[in-house]
Every structure is written in C-alpha cells, then in structure tokens.
Amino acid sequence: MDKIIVNGGNPLYGEVEIGGAKNAVLPIMTASILTPGIYTLNRVPNLRDTRTMANLLEIIGAKVTYEKGTMVIDSNSCNNPTAPYDLVKTMRASFYVLGPFMGRFQHAEVSLPGGCAWGPRPVDLHLKAIEALGGTVSLESGNIVADGQLKGADISFDISSVGATGNALMASAKADGISTISIASKEPEITSLAEFLIKMGADITGLDSDKLTVVGNPNLKGDFEFDIIPDRIEAGTFLIAVALCGGEVTLTNVNPNHLNIVLSKLSEVGVKLDIGEDTITVKAPKKINSVNITTAPYPGFPTDLQAQWMAMMSKCDGSAVIIDEIYRDRFTHIAELSRLGANITLEDNVAVVTGVNKLKGAPVMSTDIRASASLILSSLAAEEKSEISRVYHIDRGYENIEEKFRNLGADMYRISK
Ligand code: UD1
C-alpha cells in the first residue's frame, strides 16, 4: 500500500488549479443511465471514486472512456440494473444508481451499503422516495430490490439528504406526471445534477431551494456535453492549508459563491482573501484566531471540511469548538491528529481543540477521505517528518494531491509499495 511522506514546515506559495467536483460528477455519471445516449463530461477529476463509478457503469453495460479530464459515457447498451456489494461497499455513492435504474428499467438490485467510518449512514430516505413514486422495495440477501413503473408524486423528507434528493430527482425526472421534493438538499452538486437532467429534457424548477418541482418526461434525450462544476471541498482544503502552513496562494477554477460560509469563517481566522470571479487568493494570517464551527447542510459549514478545520485549529490562539451535526461520529481523525501533537477532547459530537505552539511529525493512518486531508495538512504544518499510511482513502477524492502541494513548495512525496 502507498504511503505519503511529508517533511513539514514549508510555507505554501504559488497557484493551484482546482479540479471538477467529485460529489457532482458521481451522480451525473449515474444519471447517464436514465436514457440511452452518448454523454461527454468535461473537467472530470481522475479519482479512485470516478474510476469505481466507471467500473460500475461498465458492469451495467455502458461503455466508458476517459482521457485528459474528458469522460465519454455511452449508455445505449445498458441492460443490467444491478450494483454488486463489492463496489457499493467501497463507495456508497454507488447507491445513486437506484433512481436511474428505476427510471430506465423499472427494476433495480442494489446492494445495501452498510455502515462506514462515520457511523450507521442509513438509506431509508432514498427508499422512501422510490416508494412515494409508486415503486415497491424489499430487502433480499443484503440487496435492495425495487420494482414498478414510477409516477409523479409528492416526496417529503424528514431531513435534508444530498443522496436521497439526488435519487428522487433522477427517478422523478423520468416518471410520468408532476413530482415535488420537499426538504430537498440545496447543495450546489444537486443544482448541477438538476441542470444535467434539464439538459436531458426534464422540467425542474426551484433550483437552489429546498422545494424542487419536477415535471417528469418519459422521453428524455441523451447525446450532449456537460461541464462539471469546481470542487468546493478541494478548494476549501487548499484555503485551510495555506491558513495553517503560512504563505500566499491563488486558487483557479473555483466558484467563490459555493464557499461563502467557509470564506467568512476564514476571514474570522484572520486570513486575507482576494476574491475574483473564478479565483481566490489566500494570504495566511500571522496568528490563527480560534473560530468555532458547527456543520450543517448547505449553505452551512460542510461536514466534508470539518476535519481540515480541526487540523487548522490545532495551532490556533486559544480554543475552538467544533460540532458535527451531520455525522455525529465523524471524528476518527482526532486520534491521529493527536499523534502529531494536537490537543483535542471529544464528548458526543462536540470537539474542543486547544491550540498548541507546534506540531511534530509522526507516523499516522488515514481513515477516510477528508480525515486523510486533515492529516496531510497537519503534517505539512508540523516540524520534521510524517508518514501517512492507507493513502488510498485520499486518492478517492483528491487528484494528484502531492504534486499540487509540491508545486506550492511543500516537501511531500509518495512511496509506492
Ligand atoms: C453526501 C456527500 C458526502 C457529504 C454528505 C453530507 C456525496 C457522494 N457524498 O453524502 O461527501 O459528507 O453528503 O454533506 O455527495 N440520512 C438518513 N437517511 C438516508 C440518507 C441520509 O438518515 O436515507 C442522514 C445521514 O445519516 C446524515 C444526513 O442524512 O446524517 C445527511 O446525509 P446525506 O446528505 O444523505 O449524505 P450523502 O448523500 O450520503
């Protein structure tokens, strides 16, 4: 297994280009199953998760090619609406095939994902949406089996779920009649998925709000090109890295509007920001002010940046409170950040980080995508050498991360075993 070695202590200077959003491209890839066609997706990041999704599409019967950020999906010969356990267990986003399977085949067999490092992570809301649209759902040998010709209906979630909103949108886009989705997720990745479905011929209104109305179209059309939005979580990771390590960096291919809360919290930290149309220049503060965060659905502070924020606060002036309200168990990084010298206590879903003057390199282990990012950030800010193992987690969500940091002056490399 690969390891990343970091000799910390260097400030970061230069320019970094942000890639296409992982959490936008994954549902869009599955949406290509909804109706036969050839889809060209631009700015697709080369990630372990996009490769896993491409494998899944091939099992379903699609042809997928990828070159220099352009992915072409030919979904004309899709004929196998199944998502096997082997793939779903490595990537929960595989569950996004449920809505498209029902729309195209009126049948779906999708392995139940099970738990993960962040706790139980149920899929009840996804199933509720399919049932509301008239599908039948059962559990057979660990697989969700769904059947039925879906019809427009009112779907009301109890809480905002990105994945369930995505599945509900895709299923209702092809269902005859009008659907409404209440307490819908407002994440930019959901708006982007809706825009992809609109290009297919669906009529969707209420974009960026928590109530979406979908006039389904059983005759959706494929064969078009679509640009993937910039990854706001990768962007946030680099912004926080500069604040923590020192220096001045310009991010390109970024949508600052998707980062409002993160940018306003970074200003409180003392970071200087120069915001352009699709660029952000970040200049590190002399000292890191302590700033509390509580994660919440968009436009709130993203849970996917909670671990990185904690890494930054471990060198703050004072103490900061970090609460995760979305994934109450998403704190496996605390034990590893502590190995680097961070002072963090945890009670339920509330972490208190007391800033230390210096962090010191150590061997640490990645436990999930964003936890790995927090370890890289802390190692970059720590004195001496760190060795990060299980980096396959980081490869799920960050393209060329060591090269991008090296270009900014970091001393960081990978050992492949
Ligand atoms: C997506 C993102 C993930 C991010 C998360 C929250 C992708 C591929 N992944 O995950 O990176 O951390 O949003 O922003 O886009 N819930 C239920 N029942 C359900 C579904 C969800 O109770 O059927 C709960 C979850 O346990 C969680 C909350 O709803 O507490 C939000 O989860 P959700 O928005 O569904 O996350 P994902 O779509 O899985």
What pLDDT is recorded for position 119?
67
Contact 173, 222 (CB under 8 A): no
- Structural domain includes residue 221: no
Separation of CA 293 and ligand 1 centre (Å): 19
Shared-domain flag, residues 65 and 191: yes
Mind listing the pLDDT tens digit for each residue in 317-361? 999 999 999 999 999 999 999 999 999 999 999 999 999 999 999
Rounded to the nearest whole angstrom, what is the distance from the C-alpha of residue 407 to the centroid of ligand 1? 33
* Interatomic CA distance for residues 268 and 245, integer angstroms: 17
Residue-level pLDDT at 69: 97
User: What is residue 217's predicted lDDT score, i.e. its pLDDT?
Assistant: 95
**Chain segment 162-196, per-residue pLDDT in tens:** 999 999 999 999 999 999 999 999 999 999 999 99
Q: Which of 215, 241, 262 is the last residue of a domain?
A: 215
Active site residue 78: no
* Residue 381 half-sphere exposure toward CB, CA atoms < 13 A: 32
Mean pLDDT check: name the lowest of 104-118, 247-261, 338-352.
Answer: 104-118
Nearest-5° Cα angle at 276, 275 to 279 = 90
- Ramachandran class of 24: left when φ > 0, alpha when ψ lies in -120 to 50, beta otherwise: alpha
Residue 118 pLDDT greater than 70, yes or no: no
Are both 287 and 168 inside the same structural domain? no
CA of 345 to the centre of ligand 1 (A): 25
Q: Is the CB of 113 under 6 A from ligand 1?
A: no
Least confident of 26-35, 49-58, 303-312, 387-396: 387-396
Select from 161, 233, 306 the residue to mutate for testing ligand 1; criterion: most ligand atoms less than 8 Å from CB. Answer: 161
Q: Look at residue 397 in the predicted model and tell me its pLDDT.
A: 94
Rounded Cα–Cα distance for residues 124 and 63 (Å): 31
- Residue range 41-91, pLDDT digits in tens: 999 999 999 999 999 999 999 999 999 999 999 999 999 999 999 999 999
Do 28 and 94 have their domain in common? yes
251 in the same domain as 359: yes
What is the share, in percent, of the chain residues with pLDDT greater than 70? 98
**Cα-to-centroid distance, 256 and ligand 1 (Å):** 23
Of 315, 323, 263, 314, give the one whose Cα is nearest residue 292.
323
How does the average pLDDT of the chain come out, rounded? 96
Residue nearest to atom 39 of ligand 1 (CA): 163
Confidence of residue 115 (pLDDT cuts 50, 70, 90): low
- Over residues 24-41, the mean pLDDT reads 98
Indicate if 326 and 387 belong to the same structural domain. Answer: yes
For residue 373, pLDDT beyond 90: yes
- Could you tell me the CA-to-CA distances from 84 to 101, 134, 194, 202 in Å, in that order? 14, 24, 26, 29
Question: What was the pLDDT predicted at 113?
Answer: 86
* Within a domain: 225: no
Give the pLDDT score at 177: 96
> Looking at residue 1, what is its pLDDT?
81
Q: Is position 224 within any domain?
A: no
Tell me, what's the pLDDT at 292?
A: 98
Q: What is the DSSP string of 263-313?
A: HHHHHHHT-EEEE-SSEEEEE--SS-B---EEB-STTSB-GGGHHHHHHHH
First to last CA, the chain: 5
The closest of 215, 163, 198 to 184, measured between CA atoms, is 163
The DSSP result for 120-146, as a single string, is: ----HHHHHHHHHTT-EEEEETTEEEE
> 238 and 171, same structural domain?
no
Give the whole-angstrom CA distance, residue 330 versus residue 328. Answer: 6
pLDDT tens-digit profile of 230-247?
Answer: 999 999 999 999 999 999
Q: Answer yes or no: do 236 and 96 share one domain.
A: no
End position of a domain, from candidates 169, 185, 215: 215
As given in the structure block, the two tokens for residue 305 are 């940046």
Atom of ligand 1 nearest to the CA of 26: 8
* Total Cβ atoms within 10 A of residue 69: 15
* Contact call for residues 409 and 14 (beta carbons, < 8 A): yes
At 389, is the pLDDT very low, low, confident or very high (cuts 50, 70, 90)?
A: very high
Question: Ligand 1 atom 26: the closest Cα is on which residue?
Answer: 121
Q: Is residue 223 part of a domain?
A: no
Tell me, what CATH number does 121's domain have?
3.65.10.10
Same domain, 43 and 112: yes
* pLDDT value for 121: 77
State the pTM of this model. Answer: 0.97
Same domain assignment for residues 194 and 236: no
Residue 124 near ligand 1, beta carbon < 6 Å? yes
Q: Could you tell me if the CB of 333 is within 6 A of ligand 1?
A: no
Q: Using the 3D structure, point to which of 157, 184, 215 is the last residue of a domain.
A: 215
Specify the residue with its C-alpha closest to ligand 1, atom 13: 162
Q: What helix, strand, coil percent values describe the chain, rounded to 5?
A: 35, 30, 35
Ligand 1 centre to CA of 6 (Å) is 32
Q: Assess if residue 115 is contained within a domain.
A: yes
CA of 286 to the centre of ligand 1 (A): 36
pLDDT digits over 130-165, tens only?
999 999 999 999 999 999 999 999 999 999 999 999
39 and 186 in a single domain? The answer is yes
Side-by-side strand order, sheet with 70-74: 63-67, 70-74, 38-42, 224-227
Does 287 reside within a domain? yes
Preceding amide of 299 cis, omega within 30: yes
Does residue 199 sit within a domain?
Answer: yes
Question: Considering the domain boundaries, does residue 193 fall inside one?
Answer: yes
Domain region containing 341: 3-19+230-415
Domains of the chain: total: 2
pLDDT number for residue 120: 67
- Which one, of 188, 315, 178, 173, lies nearest residue 244 by Cα? 315
The more confident residue out of 219 and 1 is: 219
Q: Does the pLDDT at position 117 exceed 90?
A: no
pLDDT classification of 250: cutoffs 50, 70, 90:
very high
Q: Is 129 in the pocket of ligand 1 (CB under 6 A)?
A: no
**Contact yes or no for 341/382 (Cβ under 8 A):** yes
For residues 248 and 345, membership in a common domain is answered with yes
50 lines ligand 1 (CB under 6 A): no
Are 269 and 393 found together in one domain?
A: yes
C-beta of residue 211 within 8 angstroms of C-beta of residue 179: no
Would you say 366 and 395 are in contact if contact means Cβ atoms under 8 Å apart? no
Residue 119, sorted as left (phi over 0), alpha (psi -120 to 50) or beta, turns out to be left
- Residue 139 in contact with ligand 1 by CB distance below 6 A: no
Give me the pLDDT at residue 247, please: 98
Residue nearest to atom 11 of ligand 1 (CA): 304
